[in-house]
């Protein structure tokens, strides 16, 4: 069962990395391409955030990791759920950086429940 969960998490992380790579901004991109890249960046962030939430709910994140996830959520979710920002290139870069940070947090080997982590 643990192996299956680890495999599932690895698949999610691979998908997030692939989507984040697709979301990188290409100079001279059309408005439709920018919109697509923006949506892809938000989808990748959502997948990484979901993986982090699963670990948090399982009590597998440290207090510092939980704080980092919360900070990212407070800054990126409004960008992804609001209207297209005036500078989509900057938003795409911000969202992609947040996704990369979440992937790094999730990739760190989860530990036993930490003091201050939510109960199972």
- Report the C-alpha gap between 61 and 117 in whole angstroms: 7
Q: Can you give the residue ranges of every domain in the chain? A: 2-23+31-107
Which residue positions in the chain have pLDDT lower than 70?
A: 1-29, 109-120
Nearest CA to 10 among 63, 51, 50? 51
- Report the C-alpha gap between 22 and 7 in whole angstroms: 23
How many CA within 13 A on the CB side of residue 103? 21
pLDDT of residue 75: 94
pLDDT of residue 32: 85
pLDDT of residue 105: 84
106 close to 52: Cβ distance less than 8 angstroms: yes
- Report the C-alpha gap between 90 and 95 in whole angstroms: 9
Q: Give the tokens for residue 86.
A: 């005036």
pLDDT of residue 22: 47
């Amino acid at each position: 069962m643990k192996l299956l969960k680890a495999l599932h998490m690895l698949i999610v992380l691979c998908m997030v990395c692939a989507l984040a790579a697709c979301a990188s901004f290409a100079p001279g991109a059309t408005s439709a391409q920018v919109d697509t890249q923006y949506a892809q960046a938000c989808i990748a962030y959502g997948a990484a955030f979901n993986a982090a939430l699963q670990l948090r709910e399982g009590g597998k994140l440290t207090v510092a990791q939980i704080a980092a996830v919360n900070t990212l959520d407070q800054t990126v979710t409004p960008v992804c759920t609001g209207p297209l920002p005036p500078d989509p290139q900057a938003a795409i870069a911000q969202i992609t950086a947040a996704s990369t940070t979440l992937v790094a947090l999730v990739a760190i080997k989860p530990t036993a429940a930490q003091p201050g982590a939510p109960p199972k």
